[in-house]
Amino acid sequence: MEVILVPGLWLTASSWDPVLPALREAGHTPVPLTLPGVGGTAAETADITMDDWVAAVAAEIDRHEGPVGLVGHSGGGNVVWGAAAARPDRVARVVFVDTVPLTRSIPAQAPTSPVTLDDDRRFGVPVTLLMGSLDEAALRAELARWGPYAEEFAAIDDATVVRLGTGHWPQFSAPAALARALVEAFAEDAPREDAPA
């Protein structure tokens, strides 16, 4: 399966480099992205919004046949969830990775503009949350104080929370653990060679 990897704010496609070999070894085709405008100047990126980022991921989904997996780290979680809402029939699973600035400038409007979530079929897309320090009970307790965010999460039909026991950037601090968790998350969604067509 093609697995589209969206980095968190300020990061580029290269932030996923440590986990790519394990995804390939598991039979997946990883597609790491750098979102439009990341690394550009304020003048060059002034008009880029969250919708532009979601559109970039949706366009990547459209380039592939069959269902894809989406992975979003930190602020990239909003982007992949918006893309799942834009293409719910094309997404096999969304994986959120511990959703702090590091190395690249980002378009000023992207982190503050709203995510367009028009298609309620997104709630039928299976979701895995790979959390650095929170287990499911702690995550649900935290979300209970977040109003509409808690409602959005509660509406998801199939959500699994996995505590990684890592920091916020497991692709750097614990790439092997993150890679294993990603492979496990997508294992049940991958087409099987012995499955009837």
Quick one: pLDDT at residue 103?
A: 56
Q: Where are the domains of the chain?
A: 2-187
Quick one: pLDDT at residue 191?
A: 54
Q: Which two tokens stand for residue 59?
A: 């366009």
Quick one: pLDDT at residue 101?
A: 46
Name the 3-class secondary structure at 69.
Answer: strand
Quick one: pLDDT at residue 130?
A: 96
- DSSP letters for 136-174: HHHHHHHHTTSTHHHHHHHT-SSEEEEE----S-HHHH-
Task: Read off the pTM.
Answer: 0.90
Quick one: pLDDT at residue 150?
A: 87
| Contact residues for 115 (Cβ-Cβ < 8 A; gap 6+) | 50, 54, 78, 79, 81, 82, 85
| Contact residues for 114 (Cβ-Cβ < 8 A; gap 6+) | 50
The per-residue pLDDT string of the chain (197 residues; one tens digit each, 9 = 90 and over) reads 999 999 999 999 999 999 999 999 999 999 999 999 999 999 999 999 999 999 999 999 999 999 999 999 999 999 999 999 999 999 999 999 998 447 567 888 888 888 899 999 999 999 999 999 999 999 999 998 988 888 999 999 999 999 999 999 999 999 999 999 999 999 976 554 443 43
Q: Identify the residue whose tokens are 């920091």.
A: 167
Q: CATH assignment of 2-187?
A: 3.40.50.1820
Give the bridge partners for 97, in sequence order: 73, 130
CA distance 167 to 35: 23
